[in-house]
Amino acid sequence: MNATINLESKHFPVLLNELISIISPLYGGTFIDCTFGQGGYAEKILEHKKNDIIALDRDKEVFNNTLKLQKKYKQRFKFYNLKFSQLDQIKLKNNEIKGIIFDLGYSLNQIKNSQKGLSFSDKGKLNMKMGINDFSADDVISKMDENNLTKVFKVFGDEKYSKKIAKEIVKKRKVKIIKTEDLVKIIDGIKKYQKTKIHNSTKVFQALRILVNKEISELINGLVNSFNLIPVGGIIAVVTFHSIEDKIVKFFFKHYSEQRNSSRYFPEAEISERCFKLIHKKPILPSSNEIKKNPPSRSAKLRYGIKINKNCDFNDFREKFKNLIYVENLR
């Protein structure tokens, strides 16, 4: 979800009706909600008496949002404060997993929480940690060298002024600690003659959030782990909000639903089985009504696949995105 969100706005689970119509034919079992957030998806799925939810979120502050569901649905609802790359750590008791869902990005509560510093209207120490992180945006801005900062802004933000912004950060941090508002000022100073529809800081903030939360490896590992967890016939559904996420999710479903005799990256490997059946080749987008009611939903894309093969070799998935993983590991 985008940080330009109106802070007065209400929480609307994005593409909720579309998601429910995809998974409802499988109702009567356990669904894993990998991104619990404010619980919009989980609550809707639990309305059906024969469904259970196992929910995950890396942000322990969503715990408050789980209380109502724990009270109402008791054994039918279980929450883990884990990242979805750790999906393989959850304990399943003969649960029949019907579907695994991801609604990537940030919840309205997280953006409103100025301590998290996810929005460029926040003030104070840079942060951007969603939960269970190894480092913050402050660590990156105060320590990373100019070349690596340039790469991060370029690759994760597609920022045209990456080099100039990185140079100015390194110059400024010699004389003072760069806070959220200082970073916005540095970027505004460099892009002052630019006329764009988006906020000057959107791209750099996106890049930092991806890096700090290791969103690339989270997503790749989360998707592979979900495939390994669901039985044949189960659904994996993912809502993305920016083009890098969508590229990864699109490749995952499209590449592994095609009949292939060999892998492009490992031509010696015979891969003749498809892993997914796709019902929609194109992503499902929010209706104009939904966008009117909830403008940040405009960048959402929903993709899903039905698992049709027990085993799948995902080596070329990581190979395909190795450059992004390389940048994510820069310090």
Q: Which of these ranges, 99-107, 198-206, 247-255, 299-307, lies near ligand SAM under the rule CB under 6 A? A: 99-107
The number of residues in the chain equals 331
The packing angle between helices 215-229 and 243-255, to 10°, is 30
Helix (H) or strand (E) holding 181: helix 180-190
Please report, for the chain, how many H helices and E strands are present, in that order.
Answer: 14, 7
Bridge partners (DSSP) of residue 245 are none
Assess contact for 308 and 228: CB atoms under 8 A.
no
Q: Which of 153, 177, 155 is nearest to 163 (CA)?
A: 153
Distance CA 62, CA 132 (A): 13
Q: Which of these ranges, 56-64, 118-126, 252-260, 312-320, lies near ligand SAM under the rule CB under 6 A? A: 56-64
Q: Which of 133, 110, 99 is nearest to 238 (CA)?
A: 99
Nearer residue to ligand SAM within complex by CB, 83 or 98? 83
117 binds ligand SAM (CB under 6 A): no
Assess contact for 27 and 98: CB atoms under 8 A.
yes
Q: Which of these ranges, 54-62, 155-163, 259-267, 311-319, lies near ligand SAM under the rule CB under 6 A? A: 54-62
Binding test (CB under 6 A) with ligand SAM, winner from 37, 99, 117, 234: 37
Beta strands 235-240; 301-307: pairing state: antiparallel
Nearer residue to ligand SAM within complex by CB, 200 or 225? 225
Binding test (CB under 6 A) with ligand SAM, winner from 2, 32, 45, 57: 57
Bridge partners (DSSP) of residue 52 are 30
Binding test (CB under 6 A) with ligand SAM, winner from 3, 22, 39, 234: 39
Distance CA 193, CA 200 (A): 10
301 binds ligand SAM (CB under 6 A): no
Nearer residue to ligand SAM within complex by CB, 39 or 99? 39
The distance of closest approach from Cβ of residue 322 to ligand SAM in the complex, given in angstroms and rounded to an integer, is: 20
Q: Which of these ranges, 37-45, 140-148, 191-199, 276-284, lies near ligand SAM under the rule CB under 6 A? A: 37-45
The distance of closest approach from Cβ of residue 298 to ligand SAM in the complex, given in angstroms and rounded to an integer, is: 14
Report the SS3 class of residue 307: strand
Q: Pattern 126-145, binding to ligand SAM, x per CB under 6 A?
A: ----xx--------------
Whole-number Cα distances in Å, 27 to 21, 72, 206, 321: 10, 19, 36, 34
Nearer residue to ligand SAM within complex by CB, 218 or 246? 218
Distance CA 122, CA 35 (A): 24
Binding test (CB under 6 A) with ligand SAM, winner from 56, 178, 216, 237: 56
Beta strands 52-56; 30-33: pairing state: parallel
283 binds ligand SAM (CB under 6 A): no
99 binds ligand SAM (CB under 6 A): no
Distance CA 199, CA 8 (A): 18
Binders of ligand SAM among residues 193 to 252 (CB under 6 A) are 218
Q: Which of these ranges, 32-40, 153-161, 204-212, 297-305, lies near ligand SAM under the rule CB under 6 A? A: 32-40
Binding test (CB under 6 A) with ligand SAM, winner from 40, 99, 117, 157: 40
Assess contact for 246 and 108: CB atoms under 8 A.
no
> Contact residues for ligand SAM (CB under 6 A)?
1, 13, 34-35, 37-41, 56-59, 62, 83-84, 103, 105-107, 110, 130-131, 218
